[in-house]
Structure 1
């Protein structure tokens, strides 16, 4: 549930603890730039990342990697180079931002449906087994038993195609994709036992404790723009991991009290309260390298996941 369909063939960097410069840059571009028409000088990117302690060399390396991933492209052959977001990346960013900002807003509709993947590989297929497990995890599956993996919902087409691509070349491999319902969903022998819900709850509680002082400061209006940019980005980076890893199980399968709503409210207060300040700081630091920065830099508002601010590009956006 809450699974989203990929938009075009844009390979965004995988999230990791202690975000890499390229992951940080992808976060910043997705949050504060919403037009493929904007010319983004390399000097502006270096200035953005400098706010987070990223060196010029690392910033240039991040740019190069995002070009290879299809997230940004070089405009013309000027020196120093000028970049722009690709249309596919814009669509991807909007989809992802809707996912992050809507996540946890309402209890998911629940039909009792699960998708189950079962497979059998020959002893010589260990490399394929490791690849398959990574792929299943990326599709939101968890291991119920050794070679039985499950995910809530009924959307099986993507994983079916993935299994065929990965296992068809493996001689002796067998696999099945099933739509199933469990007689007992809760308890130690049900599907909920496959998830580390205790660890997830602890993660939400840690998020609330970590960002509680910032939430209070945002409400009081005592956060300066430079702090707002770094802190808001950090909160988004932490929240997006929950949105990507929480299986969003129905309420009757969750331990109570479940702390996600408190974590969501903490995130929304920070994201909404610091958005204009963070935008202003980005405009301030990039304008010396990018005179048109104020016309293009924008920010998403958590209450309505559409960009606000900026006099060009984002305000003319449709859909």
Structure 2
């Protein structure tokens, strides 16, 4: 998780176990739309989410929440409403998709540097202490000791700013942001001990086992478009959690064998093989409510160059529009 996440005014839904309707909708928009110019009717959104068992009231609530978060905006005051992705959301989608699809493609550039945060909050500041821990987790830190948190790398600006915002008004609070190197980096008291690497490895292994039948079916060409849409979205939803939580440590700090590469190959096979099928199904369900759907719906494709994933072109003869 060394890659810095883009910062802007768009607040994307936090990932959680199982997809809430708004999280699922954010995933679909990020995967299959790549232009702020597309007019997206609410009825088309409802039809898309119906493929995942989401009811119409829940779909409308998801739309409303994403509007509040700045991910989408209403186009005028039409009835029924028409939405579009905001330019800021498009930029964030592209950055995030590249992060997800590029994650694990190469060993991390390792300098041995760590950012360390140490803080002390009086017993009366329990709410502030919890807020600090949530903020540190959001920035990719883990607790080495109770009030000493670490993350790999050297970029400390965002966490320093957030700690100042959270604690400057808390009487008696103290905090420090440090840069450190560990004398015994790979030992039992080193930084790797702060991570649940055994649990992470088990998660990768379970991912491989879960998607192995789908991977084989995709290679045989025996996956229908409706299944492809749901399965590909599920695979991305699972993989993005790894990309957001794996600290991307160097090999000498990891237990061996480390199963991430096998999981990445499984994900890329599923994601690449099912992309066109999933797109076709999404066009099929959206088109009755959105006649222009085929000209706007695309999909990200990492198979041509996994280090530079881009939205794939639409069907022959239909130019892909970009925002």
| TM-score after normalising by structure 2 | 0.96
**How far 1:7 moved relative to its partner?**
3.9
Counterpart secondary structure, 1:140: coil
State the distance in 2 between where 1:7 and 1:36 align: 19
Which residue of the partner structure matches residue 312 of structure 2? 308
Contact 1:49 1:59 in 2 (8 A): yes
State the distance in 2 between where 1:313 and 1:143 align: 51
State the distance in 1 between where 2:118 and 2:7 align: 28
- Consecutive unaligned residues of structure 2, counting only runs of 5 or more, are none
Q: How does 1:1-319 map to 2 (within 5 A)?
A: 1-303=1-303, 304=305, 305-310=309-314, 315-317=320-322
Contact 1:7 1:88 in 2 (8 A): no
State the distance in 2 between where 1:135 and 1:80 align: 39
Counterpart secondary structure, 1:315: coil
State the distance in 2 between where 1:149 and 1:132 align: 11
Contact 1:34 1:313 in 2 (8 A): no
Counterpart secondary structure, 2:320: helix
Number of aligned positions between the proteins: 318
**How far 1:5 moved relative to its partner?**
3.3
Contact 2:208 2:262 in 1 (8 A): yes
Contact 2:34 2:298 in 1 (8 A): yes
Residues 300-309 or 26-35, more deviating = 300-309
Moved segments of 4+, more than 3 Å: 311-318
**How far 1:317 moved relative to its partner?**
4.0
State the distance in 2 between where 1:314 and 1:11 align: 30
State the distance in 1 between where 2:275 and 2:191 align: 39
RMSD after superposition = 1.4
Residues 172-181 or 298-307, more deviating = 298-307
State the distance in 2 between where 1:44 and 1:140 align: 36
Output one character per residue of 1:148-186: Cα deviation in whole Å (capped at 9) or x when no partner: 000000000000001100000100001000000000011
**How far 1:123 moved relative to its partner?**
1.1
**How far 1:316 moved relative to its partner?**
4.9
| TM-score after normalising by structure 1 | 0.97
**How far 1:302 moved relative to its partner?**
1.6
